[in-house]
Amino acid sequence: MFSLKGKIAVITGGGSGIGKAISLLFAKQGAIVHIIELDQNAADQAVEEISKVGEAYVHACDVSFQSQVLKVFNEIEKIDILVNNAGIAHVGKAHTTVETDFDKLYQVNVKGAYNCLYAALPLMQANGGGTILNTASIASLVGISDRFAYSMSKGAIYAMSMSVARDYIADNIRCNSISPARIHTPFVDGFIAKNYPDKKEEIFEKLSKSQPIGRMGKPEEVAALALYLCSDEAGFITGCDYPIDGGFIKLNN
């Protein structure tokens, strides 16, 4: 079950964290993985690790620039699976979020996903179908304190996912999204170190306990859900969002 043998999978932000876990698992399951990553060094390290269990390639690309994205996707030519995972975070309320930060969140998280959809969908149509998985967030479904711009961007991801699922169902293209809560990645560690340098342990524990299950999620747990949703076994699923949140949405009320 859940074989991706022979399928070509493009994973943005696949050089670290959730994206790396997805890339590694997809390769183990037989996919030919193409990592699109801004951080060339991280991507090279990920490909080196993945090459021990499967086949992977790296493409240096800033997803916020459509010309770069189109060039990479046209080089790949055939795509069966697209995982829109690249993204950045931001701390701030509406009145403390400056225009430049808001624009940056939009350019990477929203426009970046759009650019990849714009490039991939015609290739999938020509190929007779495909599967798209977009990484949204619990912030697209419930209010999260001090995450105004981030919530905006992930709400857009959720909405785009539903729109694409509707528009391309006749083309045999499925589109879903996942909404993780806090997942323990190097990104989270760096985020805490940057924003709370004097109380890293306290903030880590606080963020961990904000999930009713009592801990952060693991990248491998998110990758397992991604594998299912991108596999043929999920062929009857489209236009859905899947929270993977340790009970955050339903059990925190």
Q: Is the pLDDT of residue 253 over 70?
A: no
Q: Catalytic site residues? A: 150
* Percentage of residues in the chain having pLDDT higher than 90: 91
When pLDDT is cut at 50, 70 and 90, the band that residue 185 belongs to is very high
Q: Is the pLDDT of residue 252 over 90?
A: no
3-state secondary structure of 45: helix
CATH topology of domain 8-181+218-244: Rossmann fold (3.40.50)
Q: Smallest Cα–Cα separation from 76: which of 34, 43, 24, 128?
A: 34
- What would the mean pLDDT of 92-109 be, rounded to a whole number? 97
- What would the mean pLDDT of 145-171 be, rounded to a whole number? 97
Q: Is the pLDDT of residue 36 over 70?
A: yes
- What would the mean pLDDT of 16-29 be, rounded to a whole number? 96
Cα–Cα distance for residue pair 141/222, rounded to 1 Å: 18
3-state secondary structure of 101: helix
Cα–Cα distance for residue pair 68/72, rounded to 1 Å: 6
Residue 187: the pLDDT is 81
Domain spans of the chain? 8-181+218-244, 184-216
When pLDDT is cut at 50, 70 and 90, the band that residue 93 belongs to is very high
Cα-atom radius of gyration of the chain, to the nearest Å? 17
Residue 40: the pLDDT is 87
pLDDT digits (tens, 9 = 90+) for 216-235: 999 999 999 999 999 999 99
